[in-house]
Amino acid sequence: MNRAAFDDHSKYHRYAEFHAIANALISKCGSQCSKEVIGKSIENRDIIAYKLGSNSANPMIFMDGGIHAREWISPATLLYIMDQVISDPQYRSLLDSWNLVFVPLANPDGYEYTHTSNRMWRKNRRPGRACYGVDLNRNFEFKFGGTGSSGSQCSDVYRGVSAFSEPETQAIRNFVLRNKSAIKAFWSVHSYGQYWLHPFGYAFGVNPNNVAELLSAAQTGARALQSVNGRRYTVGHSADLLYPAAGGSDDWAISIGIRYAYTLELPDTGRYGFVLPPAQIVSVGRETLAGLAAFLRAV
């Protein structure tokens, strides 16, 4: 496979095709890039981390995408960013000072289910007595069980039986803990709303010690992002701006000592919502990459 940049970003790909494209990009990248199967989903699909950058002395940013099945713009944007960083010399130089780790399809079973059966599915595909699915972004350990999560299997924010009960969150946990000393930044990429959110998400008004630097790096990133297409982002505290939700991945990342952890809510602001037309993948990808590059330069 030998695709030029932009060729693969006109549609939302199924799981198999998505990883075929990502694999081709890793091959094209050469010795500076690699991939790793970090776990298996409930339905036994591979959960894959793609690593761009090979200097182990550099800091790492970890990005999860597609934790929520229906938020298709999230994996598509991460795939676009992987492509551009590998293919465009202007962005390739980011790898001189960073290692970028992408887990773009963190909920592969849910993602496939949104393609075959229910476009609005959010959770994973854990079978249950009454209903399927655990909300993976309520299944992380920090403040597990708190506000904004549910103990009812049929809820869209069902937290699961215990923290890290799901193989998909275990895969992220294990990778992140193994690389903890290198990970300086953590992004959990969602849609929609156009927000750049910092922890803590579990309660109103509770901030990490380094809230000032979290905010200022996010503002730097958001300014660069907005300058590309003029799409506005709101920067701030996730519970205060959206709603409180315990058990999210960014709160957990901060709680284990990762310095810069965020949730990004990609476009749009509600016109199309989760069903963003694929014609917007490239414009969202371009602005998000500009935001990422500015953020990485700032921290």
Active-site positions read: 265
Distances 237 to 163, 168, 202, 246 between C-alpha atoms, Å? 23, 26, 10, 14
Instruction: Please say which residue, 138 or 237, places its beta carbon nearer to Zn ion.
Output: 138
Nearest approach, Cβ of 135 to Zn ion (angstroms)? Answer: 9
Instruction: Please say which residue, 126 or 190, places its beta carbon nearer to Zn ion.
Output: 190
Instruction: Please say which residue, 98 or 192, places its beta carbon nearer to ligand ING.
Output: 192
Query: Binders of ligand ING among 250-269, rule CB under 6 A?
Result: 250, 263, 265
- Residue 124 in contact with residue 110, Cβ under 8 Å? yes
Instruction: Please say which residue, 53 or 267, places its beta carbon nearer to ligand ING.
Output: 267
Stretch of 85-93, 97-105, 208-216, 237-245 lying at the interface with ligand ING (CB under 6 A): 237-245
Binding status of residue 190 toward ligand ING by CB under 6 A: yes
Binding status of residue 13 toward Zn ion by CB under 5 A: no
**Residue that the structure tokens 């130089």 belong to:** 93
Instruction: Please say which residue, 26 or 276, places its beta carbon nearer to Zn ion.
Output: 276
What is the spatial distance between Cα 185 and Cα 205, in angstroms, rounded to a whole number? 22
Binding status of residue 242 toward ligand ING by CB under 6 A: yes
What letters, b where the CB count within 10 A reaches 16 and e where it falls short, cover 134-149?
bbbbbbbebbbebebb
Number of other residues whose CB lies within 10 A of the CB of residue 281 = 22
Query: Binders of ligand ING among 2-61, rule CB under 6 A?
Result: none
- Residue 80 in contact with residue 289, Cβ under 8 Å? yes
Query: Binders of Zn ion among 57-86, rule CB under 5 A?
Result: 68, 71
107: nearest Cα among 74, 156, 61, 80: 74
Binding status of residue 68 toward ligand ING by CB under 6 A: yes
Distances 105 to 28, 202, 204 between C-alpha atoms, Å? 20, 24, 29
Binding status of residue 143 toward ligand ING by CB under 6 A: no
Binding status of residue 190 toward Zn ion by CB under 5 A: yes
Tokens (6 digits) for 232: 């506005």
Nearest approach, Cβ of 238 to ligand ING (angstroms)? Answer: 4
Q: Is the dihedral of CA 181, 207, 146, 126 positive or negative?
A: negative
Stretch of 19-27, 107-115, 189-197, 243-251 lying at the interface with Zn ion (CB under 5 A): 189-197
Residue 299 contacts by C-beta under 8 Å, 6 or more apart in sequence?
A: 184, 185, 213, 217, 259, 260
Nearest approach, Cβ of 265 to Zn ion (angstroms)? Answer: 8
Residues of this chain that interact with ligand ING (CB under 6 A) are 68, 137, 190, 201, 238, 242, 245, 248, 250, 263, 265
Residues of this chain that interact with Zn ion (CB under 5 A) are 68, 71, 190
